[in-house]
Structure 1
């Protein structure tokens, strides 16, 4: 009896000892630690979810200025974007070139400055030819000879006028023509001896380019000034579709940070240049000669799509074009889309969106940066 009581009392004791063993912390040996555990991420701020969506609280949306816009499908014009360059209107711009080699001389009012407005026929500069001594001597001798002949012709003309009643009229007219011809030749040679060729403004406008410096030596046909009317600039764009000119509707100039400008289609060439068809557009304002621009040409045919602002388009890590769609009050999901230019400020999304989707049209860049 005594022995059995001892066995019964030992069972609770064994259970207590086993529980104490489980409470002892286990320490891993050297080389078996797994590093510090990551700190828990707060769920109160903007976060990129594992499925690629973004959790964005209302407070963060207001701070980032996120705005959305519901979209609906519609028939939109087909369009294409062309690369163009600003050129001058041939009827409202011109180049001032020297017809002979010489040295530039400033007029009394000085050489014109860039951007200075000039009138047609206004004196811009002189070109003083650098002629050799023998050439000048020969020209001087020729002028002296012509002057003596002119004196004789004028005396003969005066004598014939006194005898106009008896002298045939054709003789008097021949003498007058001879005097006029001698005077013209003397004037032309005198201009060469004076050493100055007047460079005049071909049109009214502003000085767009100036290569003139007092004393500069220029060659014949060298460009000295370029005058252009800034209100009549043109845009020349290259279209790689030869049928693009046959179906032109509205045309817009896409300018970053500014509303699109409406352009006029002036015509196209019938000969390819670098395997492209040059097309001319007018009505551009606030541009500079040689500036590269983007032209959106709409055709008369249409397609089904959703019109969204161009600033809504983003790129994902795979370099795909996406837009952010608001799926819940604080959840935004990316959608891969196919888009084409519409009018410079908007694009036509042809695939990837459904009617009623709320697309992020403001603050999309900040939403795309949430990680």
Structure 2
């Protein structure tokens, strides 16, 4: 006789025995270890580099033409380096004088330059040799132009009438003198001398008045030099105090700079001016003003002649220049030519560092001006690295 047991559904959902689970877990452990080893073999091996060093291999180069690599560096073969004229220097940080950049302009030296101004209003008349031209050398005391004074018809009429009155008085005085001289035996000597003095006085007054009608003011060069400004034209009518000529000595120009630090004048050691990028002129500090001009203190410098040729630099009055005043304070950095600085696409100041025979890497840097032709790199370049100082602009254009 068959006996049926009652159905118990909760017994089918009971967990497996503990021994069975442990056997399943032991069988899965070797499989997980094998999978981990396989994944480790497929992943690339990476090592952590020390701070400041990049041990990652450089990106692959395709071909032997100049090209910009994906990491921003440039591959440049040796023939291309010689064609672009690249030159490098080794960065050697040292203590350099700290410089202050000031805006300046070329001004007239009051001791070696001069201005020719009209003292009266009138019409310009050229001298026998003609009016001086721009850039012409003139001597001190040389006649540059003459001014015929302007006078109205009424003034000329009054002068002519006064001259006629003097002539009439002179005739009367001469007749009286002649009569007294004929009676010299009976007339006192003092009366004759008084008549002679009156005649002479009338002659002098008449000559002075006649000369004023023909008066011409002569404009002469106050100093020797070169004509820097010429505002005179034959027949031109000018007013009093109008500047017609400016004469400068090219070897005696001065540069005036403005600073908002009144204590800077006491800390200036040397100075230089940069009229154009890459050019530098030696300056000698003259003095500082004690009155503000445009809310700044004016500083004056004298331009020195070139040490090699001894010739004066080519500057123009009113020309704007950049003055670099080197103070007695120092800053630590590597001095390099200003031509080594270029701009990257992010408008950052960078220099190109040669890291290999044919590989160049851009380095963002911070710098301070040193003089008109050099800067001091204070950050971004380590000691011993080779910085491109010539041809950096062409290198920066490689794509």
Distance 1:146 1:276 in 2: 60
Deviations 1:67-92 (A, max 9, x none): 11101111100101212111111122
Q: Report how far residue 357 of structure 1 moved.
A: 1.0
Counterpart in the other structure of 1:207 = 227
Q: Secondary structure at the match of 2:393?
A: helix
Give the SS at the match of 1:249. Answer: strand
Of the three residues 122, 141, 163, the one matched with 1:121 is 141
**1:305 matched to 2:325:** no
Residue in structure 2 matching 1:132, options 124, 138, 152: 152
2:386 paired with 1:358: yes
Task: Report the Cα distance in structure 1 between the residues aligned to 2:87 and 2:214, rounded to whole angstroms.
Answer: 73
Structure number with larger C-alpha Rg = 2
**What is the aligned partner in structure 1 of residue 57 from structure 2?**
none
Structure 1 residue 187: deviation in Å? 5.6
Asked if 1:262 is matched to 2:290, the reply is no
CA, structure 1 residues 102+46, in 2 after alignment: closer, same or farther (shift >3 Å)?
same
- Relative to structure 1, the CA distance from residue 125 to residue 324 in structure 2 (aligned partners, 3 Å threshold; closer, same or farther) is same
Partner of 1:342: 370
Shift of 1:337: 0.8
Aligned alpha-carbon RMSD (Å): 3.2
1:286-324 Cα deviation digits (max 9, x unpaired): 211111111111001111111001100111111111111
The CA distance in 2 between the partners of 1:270 and 1:311, in whole Å, is 37
Equivalent-residue separation in structure 2 for 1:79 and 1:178 (angstroms): 76
What are the ranges of 5 or more consecutive residues in structure 2 without an aligned counterpart? 1-59, 305-312
Deviation at 1:211, TM superposition (A): 1.5
Measured in 1, the distance between the counterparts of 2:207 and 2:229 equals 32
Inter-CA distance 43–180: structure 2 relative to 1 (3 Å threshold): farther
Distance in 1, Cα, partners of 2:208 & 2:376: 66
Query: In the alignment, which residue of structure 2 is the partner of 1:216?
Result: 236
Q: Distance in 1 between matches of 2:367 and 2:238?
A: 53
Q: Secondary structure at the match of 1:367?
A: helix
1:71 aligns with 2:91: yes
- Structure 2 CA distance, aligned partners of 1:80 and 1:176? 73
How far did 1:259 drift?
Answer: 4.8
What TM-score do you get using the length of structure 2 for normalisation? 0.73
- Report SS of the residue matched to 1:108: coil
Alpha-carbon distance in structure 2 between the residues aligned to 1:130 and 1:259: 49
How far apart in 1 are the matches of 2:367 and 2:199?
Answer: 77
CA distance in 1, matches of 2:198, 2:272: 60
Structure 2 contact 278–338 (Cα < 8 Å) conserved: no
1:333 equivalent in alignment to 2:395: no
Taking structure 1 as reference, are residues 41 and 220 closer, same or farther at Cα in structure 2, changes over 3 Å only?
same
Give the Å deviation of 1:263: 0.9
How many residue pairs align between the two structures? 323
Deviation at residue 282 of structure 1 after TM alignment: 0.6
Shift of 1:241: 2.3
| Separation in structure 1 between the aligned mates of residue 328 and residue 81 of structure 2, nearest angstrom | 40
Q: Do the aligned residues in 1 keep the contact of 2:276 with 2:321 (CA within 8 Å)? A: no
| Superposition map of 1:1-371 within 5 A | 42-146=62-166, 183=204, 188-256=208-276, 259-283=279-303, 285-371=313-399
1:352 Cα shift?
A: 1.3
Q: What is residue 28 of structure 1 aligned with on the other side?
A: none
Secondary structure of 1:355's partner? coil
Cα displacement string for residues 317-357 of structure 1 (whole angstroms, at most 9, x for unaligned residues): 11111111111111111111111111211111111111101
- CA positional deviation for 1:121: 1.9
Whole-angstrom CA distance in 2 between matches of 1:70 and 1:177: 93
CA distance in 2, matches of 1:74, 1:178: 89
What TM-score does the superposition give when structure 1 sets the normalisation length? 0.78
Preserved CA contact (<8 Å) 2:278 2:339 = no
State the distance in 1 between where 2:339 and 2:82 align.
Answer: 18
How far does residue 361 in structure 1 lie from its aligned partner after superposition? 0.8
Taking the aligned partners of 1:197 and 1:251, their CA distance within structure 2 comes to 44
